[in-house]
A and B are shown apart, each in its own frame.
Chain A
Amino acid sequence: MATKKKGKKTSKRTKKVNRSVIQPLKPYLMWLAVVLLIAVFSYIGYLDYTVRSQFEGRRWAVPARVYASPLEVYSGLRLDIDDFEELLRQMRYRKDAQLLTDATYYRNNRGIYLRTRSFRFWDSQEPARTIKILFSGTSVQALRDAATSRDLPIVRLDPVKIGSFYPTRKEDRILLRLDDVPRFLINALLTAEDREFYTHHGLSVRGIFRALWANIKAGKFVQGGSTITQQLVKNFYLTPERSLWRKLNEAAMALILEMRYGKDEILEAYLNEVYLGQDRARAIHGFGLASEFYFDRSLNQLDPEQLAMLVTLVRGASYYNPRRHPERILERRNRILNGMVDQGYLSSELADKVKQKSLGISERTQRQQKRHFAFLSLVRRQLQEQYRYEDLSSEGLRIFTTLDPLVQQTVEKKSERGLKRLEKRKSVDKLEIAAIVTRREGGEVVALIGGRSRVEGFNRALDANRPIGSLVKPAVYLTALGYPEKYTLITQLEDTSITLEGPQGKIWRPRNYDRRDHGEVALHTALAQSYNLATVRLGLDVGIGQTAKTLRNLGLREPIKKYPALLLGAISLSPFDVAQMYQTMAGDGFSTPLRAIRSVVSQDGQPLQRYPLRVRQVVDSKATFLTNWILQEAVHEGTGKSVYQYLPKTMNVVGKTGTTNNSRDSWFAGYTGDYLGVIWVGRDDNKPANLTGASGALQIWGRIMQKISSQPVDLLMPDDMENVWVDTQNGLRTDQQCPSARSFPFVASSAPADYSSCVRKKQSLETWLENLFE
């Protein structure tokens, strides 16, 4: 009571004081009002600037999307039906016997029926079509239009998405234009969130009262009074704190937004901005991406019940998470449908029909996202030669790569199984692996793994530089064979011990792997059997500088130290570098840069860059042919023999094993008619792995090629070369009939001129007979 009285007294007193004080202050108050007015206007101006600058600038950072190489289907293609079905799963196709929507398929005992997705490639748009693919054995027997049963020559399917490059804030979205958004979605959205959207000016008094009434009626918070414009402002410009000041700002900015821009622009921005889900660290924004995220199809492919479901998520994507709380979402979805009937958007019969439908959410495979990290890091590296990472991750680029998902999967599987087997057999542990597979021609990288772990980590394929051992030897022989007047396949080399003084007087005494000297050996045998001593002698004879030059010609960009030990592979390279070298051998002396990217396309579909097929002749084709010929022998009879446990001998594989001191590194590099593969196996701590190139890396290489390769190597002899029969006993010319005769390729006029004794007898007999009858 006392306080009340006191209060009354005080107010009376202030009134008196006010009158006496305000009178003289009046002109100042005028000024104060003016100042305040200016402040308010400046603040509104500031808000207006904020609203405009963000709304008119680039509104969102859209991550780059990275795609694998698309599968091109044609009759005769080697493709296993089970593998194809697995690929369809990776492409996020659904099984549906009626093929009601795009991206569906069904399989029967003859083949697969497929309704494809329309897809915009870097060069053209592939339309959606319905096709059937008939299989026989492990290849495509026929490819037909499903409706007309007419043969189709070739169909390019949409590619698997293998990853994204995100900006630091992991918001992800697919931008939509309002025209692309189904009317049903907009109607459902307006029903649920803002029924007066097209009539209010940013704020809706009726909306606020209706929400208030609904909340009182329900006794809890069921409806918010914010208009779509306010929600957009809130998400776009403001922090999520709840305060009166923020609410005022929100209202002011909503009014400004409405004054500045049309309803459609605001609605379009809202459809792209709204938060609709979470994929671990990645935030799903906008209806475009949400549609892909929950249903694996684009928004215009969705059914009404699915569109209605997406609208329910606006109210709280985690509370209504359809993969966790389908019951919550069903209830709210049906309420929205009822609302749509009230609004006259939907007949009640149709609403009832839609309510019967289940949610039809797609499954989400968790491992998909991070799986291709090693390959993606290669893509990123190649792109960063031309783009800044900020642009890469925010401009919504679409990046088309060379990865073949099926080959990648094979490499992953065979590597893991192969390593387990090796660890068991050799009783070693902690083995690591790096592998790269490219197309034999053109240098496209189709698969890459940087280690056993599929999660992010050290990428050994690109960053582990290890001594390459005997993998360097072909370069030594290639250099020598460039001088056909001096060296041929049958030139005799000394495989005897040698002592060299290295830098700082260090003595280097190389030995053979079997610790024996082999005396005089033919040049081809020395490489096929990977003899160290003969190779060192040959390399010294030709010149270490020459070999280094050949290595550079083959595509090596690393600095090369010109020590004698280089001749036996004392140079540390990554599997990627080795693949670049062997790619030139596989290309018959034509180098082609290894490529992981085919094309980069901007967000609006404009091609920005293409990485075309390039070749350049860099080493002599005849010497390359001869070296490849020996490397075929190395696999047929030499160190790489066990390849033929996995492949038929008719594949004529070209390859080379590599082992380093104390069996620390096990390498195999080689190619078939269609693929080139380089594999390294060893330990990160550089301890002995107890593996040679043949017992380690080769075993995994063989298993991979067994699965992916179908083309044999057919070496084409360049012009000015000939096959000549040689008596291997004495290195003289002979013919097929002689025992110990073997055919070797020679650069013209470098073959032995003199005949072996076994031919001379026959020849003299022939001459005698000829003379007799003349």
Chain B
Amino acid sequence: MKIKTLLLVAFLVLTADGCARRTIRNTRHIPPHQGQPRIYDIPDSGAEVGPSELPSSQPESATSPPLQSSPAVIALIEQSDYEWREGNVSQAVVVIERAIRIQPRNPVLWYRLASLRLQQGRYELAENMARKSSSLARSNKTLIQKNREIIRKAQRKQGR
């Protein structure tokens, strides 16, 4: 059951990732970080989300970023996706934060962070990250819609 879900998730990620993936697929091999210590954050309250939640809230780069994504940011998004597929959600967060440092006003990156935080069960952070993403999204209706979705889920989980 778990393996099936994981496969489904992996498939979704591979298919949902848009043009970004195609452009640099052959230029960079991201080495696996096996044996590396995992990061842990200062824990919030709230349990981890079960695997059934994963497919619907998985990060994706299909939405067209209003900022021109630089190869550096694309590489970091890829690395974050990789970590996420490996089940290292915390590591995926760290890598996305690096990308945000390079493009702090890119709403897609904030959205990705929001969805990762949602998976970690850190609902308050997820909600605020999604709001931040929307505040930067200009007229990107699809992205704003997705952020609303995250906010709705996060609020429901927080019992609001």
Contact = CB atoms under 8 A, between A and B. Distances in A.
Chain B associates with chain A: yes
Interface of A: 72, 74-76, 122-125, 150-154, 156, 439-442, 444, 588-590, 599, 605-607, 609-617, 621, 673-674, 714, 716, 718
Contacts of A76: 70, 72
A617 B136 contact: no
B21 to A, nearest CB: 13
Given A610-B39, A615-B132, 16 more contacts: A74-B70, A76-B70, A124-B36, A439-B101, A442-B104, A444-B101, A589-B135, A590-B131, A607-B40, A612-B41, A612-B125, A613-B97, A613-B113, A674-B104, A716-B135, A716-B138
A242 B74 CA distance: 66
Interface residues of B, number: 38
A153 B72 contact: yes
A111 to B, nearest CB: 17
A72 B72 contact: yes
Query: Which of B39, B70, B76, B98 gathers the greatest number of chain A CB atoms within 10 Å?
Result: B39
A74 B69 CA distance: 12
A588 B135 contact: yes
B131 A154 contact: no
B67 to A, nearest CB: 11
A156 B95 CA distance: 12
23 contacts: A72-B72, A72-B98, A74-B72, A76-B72, A122-B94, A123-B95, A151-B71, A153-B28, A154-B71, A441-B104, A588-B135, A605-B37, A607-B39, A609-B42, A610-B39, A611-B42, A614-B125, A614-B128, A616-B128, A617-B128, A617-B132, A716-B135, A716-B136
Interface in B108-160: 113, 124-125, 128-129, 131-132, 135-136, 138
Contacts of A609: 42
B27 interface: yes
B101 A442 contact: yes
A611 B41 CA distance: 7
A610 B94 contact: yes
B159 to A, nearest CB: 18
B91 to A, nearest CB: 6
Given A613-B100, A613-B113, A153 B75 contact: yes
A456 B24 CA distance: 49
Given A610-B39, A613-B97, A439 B76 contact: no
B42 A610 contact: yes
Contacts of A605: 37
B128 A442 contact: no
B93 interface: yes
Nearest to B135: A588
A159 B71 CA distance: 22
A612 B27 contact: no
A72 to B, nearest CB: 7
A23 to B, nearest CB: 75
Nearest to B136: A716
A714 B106 CA distance: 12
Contact of A123 (B28, B42, B91, B129): B91
Query: Which of B33, B94, B125 gathers the greatest number of chain A CB atoms within 10 Å?
Result: B94
Contact of B135 (A75, A122, A621, A673): A621
B38 A442 contact: no
B7 interface: no
Question: A interface, by DSSP: helix, strand, loop or mixed?
Answer: loop
A156 B38 CA distance: 19
B74 A153 contact: yes
B27 A153 contact: yes
A617 B147 CA distance: 15
Given A74-B102, A76-B70, A617-B128, A610 B136 contact: no
B135 A153 contact: no
Interface in B48-84: 70-72, 74-76
B130 to A, nearest CB: 10
Contacts of B24: 153
A609 B94 CA distance: 12
A63 B142 CA distance: 51
Given A439-B101, A442-B104, A610 B41 contact: yes
A314 to B, nearest CB: 35
B105 interface: yes
B39 to A, nearest CB: 5
A123 B28 CA distance: 19
B131 A617 contact: yes
A203 to B, nearest CB: 43
A441 B105 contact: yes
A615 B72 contact: no
B135 A590 contact: yes
B101 A612 contact: no
Nearest to B28: A153
Given A123-B94, A442-B104, A154 B36 contact: no
A75 B71 contact: yes
Query: Which of A124, A714, A716 gathers the greatest number of chain B CB atoms within 10 Å?
Result: A124
A744 to B, nearest CB: 20
Contacts of B131: 590, 617
For the complex of A and B, 5 pairs with smallest distance between CB atoms: A74-B72, A153-B75, A441-B104, A154-B72, A153-B71
Contacts of B138: 716
B114 to A, nearest CB: 10
B101 A590 contact: no
Contacts of A72: 72, 98, 101-102
Nearest to A125: B36
Contacts of B40: 607, 610
Interface in B10-53: 24, 27-28, 33, 36-42
A128 to B, nearest CB: 14
A607 B72 contact: no
Contact of A590 (B70, B75, B102, B132): B132
A566 B106 CA distance: 37
Contacts of A606: 37
Contacts of B124: 616
A124 B72 contact: no
Contacts of A122: 39, 94
A154 B75 contact: yes
Nearest to B90: A610
A444 B97 CA distance: 12
Given A124-B33, A716-B136, A615 B71 contact: no
